[in-house]
Amino acid sequence: MSPAVTICKDGDDLAAHAADLIAQAAQAAIRARGRAMLALAGGSTPKKTYSALAQPACRIRIDWARTFLFLGDERFVPPDDPSSNFAMVRQTLLAPVSAPAGHAFPVPTQLRTAAAAAAAYAATLTEAFGIGDRGGPPRFDLILLGLGEDGHTASLFPGAASLSVTDRWVVASPPGTLPPPVERITLTFPVLNAARAIAFLVSGQNKAEALRDVLEGQPSREQRPAVWVRPEDGTLTWLVDEAAATGLTRSR
């Protein structure tokens, strides 16, 4: 299934589209399976989306008592570090919506190593999804992803060993070339591509080259890892603003 690409006017318009998509995905999952399992993107782009989702008119569309929030990746920094993705999610979304305790799962970055944090998060997923150690990858109802200028997504960086992992759901990764220069913990491609729905949120002129390569070029997985996000039985949506879309040649 080819990806759906929506070009939004600007970052605020993108956030409004993304918040609506998230609310719809959560509602559909709860109707179908009684709960919504969502993996959130980190970085700066999603901040506006999470704030939009937390607005009264939007947050009432989600049954937070049946919604469970995870992270697609995390920086290996203390939980209260300014560069922590979970700290950003707590500030922009969890606190404003008063998410019920036990419904948001941070990566345990207080552990001694990134590898230990990755293993612990994999165990968290195994338990939350009720899959045995030998079960298939956890199947999220929706995974939100960003796109780095180098074409990375989550913390799957160009040329990294994590790109070829097929037997683990969460791995530790050395710092990429983009800031912050810290070790990362990331979901792997088997988990991303098992999702029922994936939505990329891409904003800014600085993403235009990578976005064109991924959507219209033929890069390898090693060059532009985001090109490898191809849900096996799910939808793929790109929400991009006009600034990021300047490199796209095909009309959409």
**Nearest residue (CB) to ligand 6PG, 45 versus 237:** 45
Q: Which of 69, 73, 142, 234 binds ligand 6PG (CB under 6 A)?
A: 73
**Nearest residue (CB) to ligand 6PG, 141 versus 241:** 241
Please state the separation of Cα 9 from the chain's center in Å.
22
User: Which residues, including other chains, have CB under 8 Å from residue 46's CB and lie 6 or more apart?
Assistant: 18, 40, 92, 144, 146, 201
The CA-atom distances, in angstroms, between 148 and each of 120, 125, 171, 209, 226 are: 26, 25, 19, 10, 9
- With CB atoms as reference, the residue minimizing the distance to ligand 6PG is 146
**Nearest residue (CB) to ligand 6PG, 225 versus 231:** 225
CB 237 within 8 A of CB 199: yes
Q: Which of 39, 89, 154, 211 binds ligand 6PG (CB under 6 A)?
A: 154
Q: Which of 8, 19, 43, 62 binds ligand 6PG (CB under 6 A)?
A: 43
Tell whether residue 193 is a contact of ligand 6PG (CB under 6 A): no
Minimum CB distance to ligand 6PG, residue 27 (Å): 25
Minimum CB distance to ligand 6PG, residue 28 (Å): 24
Tell whether residue 153 is a contact of ligand 6PG (CB under 6 A): yes
Tell whether residue 44 is a contact of ligand 6PG (CB under 6 A): yes
Tell whether residue 146 is a contact of ligand 6PG (CB under 6 A): yes
**Interface positions with ligand 6PG (CB under 6 A):** 41-45, 73, 75, 85, 146-148, 152-155
